[in-house]
Structure 1
Amino acid sequence: MAKKVASRRELLERWRGIEEEEEETDDTDPSMRRRLHKRKEEWFADAFSENHIWCGSWDIMGPLLETFYNYFKDDRNDSPLRLLWKRISEEMRHCIQCVSQHHQAQEMYSTEYELCTIGPLLDVLRSLDEERVTQHLREINERLVRQEYDPVCDNAEVVNLMYEVLMFPALLDDQALFIDFEKFIEAVDDMHELALAGQQFPGVYALLFFNRRVRTVGHRLAKCMGKMRRAVDLEPLQPLLKKFIGFLENEVLPSPLETSRPRARLDRLPIWLGITSLLEFLEPPAFEEGILERYPIFLDIVLNHISGDSPEFSHAVSCLRELFKMLGCKLWLRATLSPSVMRNTLLALQDGEHEKQRRHFLYFLLHQVPVSSNFSVLTRKTACKIALLIIHRGYKMNPPCPPFECAHMCNRWECSL
């Protein structure tokens, strides 16, 4: 065992020596270039033999990821990094274990090192992964369009692609990858009705933010997996959730960040539909800790679109209905723990905004919910209870602020309560 460890250490030292020699080599000297190329071939032969790099030598490949910081600084096709990336990219097309080891190594870097130091390396690796997966998706999609797809030969690649994106949905932040994966899911589901066996795939819930066809597939697969019970189950989706909730918070979509690859940009409608559908698959603890605590503005966004004249009113209502079903009266009580919600819905008395919002919300709870077929009997009763809490809080405010502006609703209160 000691000999094996020493051998691996030697391989790492030899690789660094190759890189150093390459930096010092005169590109115009053919003999030096041939010698360097020979050293690379010998190193690959000694290091990886016939085994997959990530599968058989993950303890070598893990530290080697650090060298990818310089990947885009060298555009030579025969550079050590490009040869290495070409090989592991090909192996990840066919091996799920390689895919898992590759992403787990990056997660290790992100948790064990400060972001300020490791961030540039992770950005390079993310860009390489997005480019790699997008290219693979396009090749498979082209085969499907040309009807050249061979289930015997291509099935493993399709499974690998689906596994990688559904297990690591942060990849979907790439615009090109998002579009091509949408086409991929539609085409594959046309050939075989997609189904999952046993394992949890967080990216399935990301499908709820795609177009209607893919959203239907995502809903079907999510039903098979069941609800997410803990906030930690939402962790793989957090980069996308943060982005989508940020989109809803802003009336105008934020300017895209300057990156080598464009970021995914969705319209507001699929985001509303996606979040509403996602809520159906969350247990209360997962929602409270994974969304409400991390994004206290979320409930503000929903309430503001209900109390105002927003064109997204109906989507906000559907979202609020799911929140009622999940938390009941606790939704309003829970929301008061958020300073932003308290400020905007209870304490913002400037220019009558508090009264205006309260009036709209009470009208919704006491006039619209009870007569709408979209709400169950239990939800209607819950709406009345929440209305009572809002009214009661108005009397307890200092100074008191009872809902005099809603006196015309008293008949509805009497009938409902």
Structure 2
Amino acid sequence: MLSNQFFSLQGLDLVAGFMLYFAVFCVVGWLIEMTYLGTARQGMINSGFLQGPFIPAFACGTLLIYPFTLLAAMFPVWLQLVLFAILATIIEYMAHWTLEKILGIRIWDYSDEFLHFQGRICLKYTFFWLVLVTLLVYVLQPLAVAFIEHLPRPVLRPLALIMFVIIGADYIYSIRLFGRLSRAITRVCGLMGLESGPLHDLQFNRPRIMNEKKRVKKLLHLAANRELEQTVLTRLFVDRLYLAEPAFQAAIRDIIDHPKFQAWHDHQDNASLTYRQHLRIAELSWRFCQAMGFDATAAARGALLCAYKRCKLSPISHARTVLFPQTTVLQWVTKDLGKTNRVERDIILWYKWPINFKAPATMEALMVSFAAKLVKSLEYRPALAHLYKAELEIAAHG
């Protein structure tokens, strides 16, 4: 029996052991994924659908592999590992299908990978699963079982229940949060005359980090996209404000006129493009929030402030920007540019959601998050072209 082979636990203690086993590997999966994607992006990011440090798909895989380690014991080790890797790939497919069909979320996309199936699984990641399964069976699983076995019995059941409740609550919260933003995007698109489907994809359907360069390179080879990209970057992203409303200009004037802010975008490498991009993000955020009755002033200011960086960084400061980028930016903004309000702080810290470690608390920050993806994503320049149609027509005839 499984209880005799792996756990010495019995009855409800065995159930609690499996619950805690699941929770442990939710966290382990998140750590592995965060390390991998964070290394590719050169910064710490939150991975997965949930807001906390949990990836249930990884834990489900370990739970399913757990009994198969006993059932497949008659086979050679190499065949066991291959079977486990195939099983993990099937679990990955089912997790992807569930998120896409039920919640409309496509968190990873292998469409650019060799020998992929529906963009959900591919040969390369099956090999990755083979490595992870080997690590799981020979290192992680024995450690997890030993850890759970050595917990005092009065602690085991309450701890398992607490972890299970936390993960379940996170799942419910995440579904509600994604639904909240989805409804907001639908409303924004209706007000701006845009199709909501492609822009839902922009916010929710995140490609793998390692595919982004190939995807952008492929898009740049299309003549229409090259022409549009050149038009947008050379005609729209200039150091003047297209939105002539005095209230918008007044909202950000003290920021763009501040000597330290000017020193950053005038003298630091690549800061000029970042500054122009965040001007556009501020403008879009202003428009979105005005149309929906949110705090447009705080949205515009926060969108601009979250780009700020100091010109000279010590090695320690540079390390902090890698590990805690937006927390560091907030400290710089507070010391160099002045105090911020609650909405502005929420934007600075969490506008990169859903790869942040926490979801924004305000709708203004969610709108800035959406606007930032719209401005920075090459694939959605046509949406920008629609929003800036008048300026594009002037540029085309100028």
TM tier relative to shorter chain: under 0.3
TM-score (norm 2): 0.23
User: Which has the higher Rg, Structure 1 or Structure 2?
Assistant: 1
Instruction: Considering Cα pairs closer than 8 Å and 6+ residues apart, tell me whether 1 or 2 has the greater RCO.
Output: 2
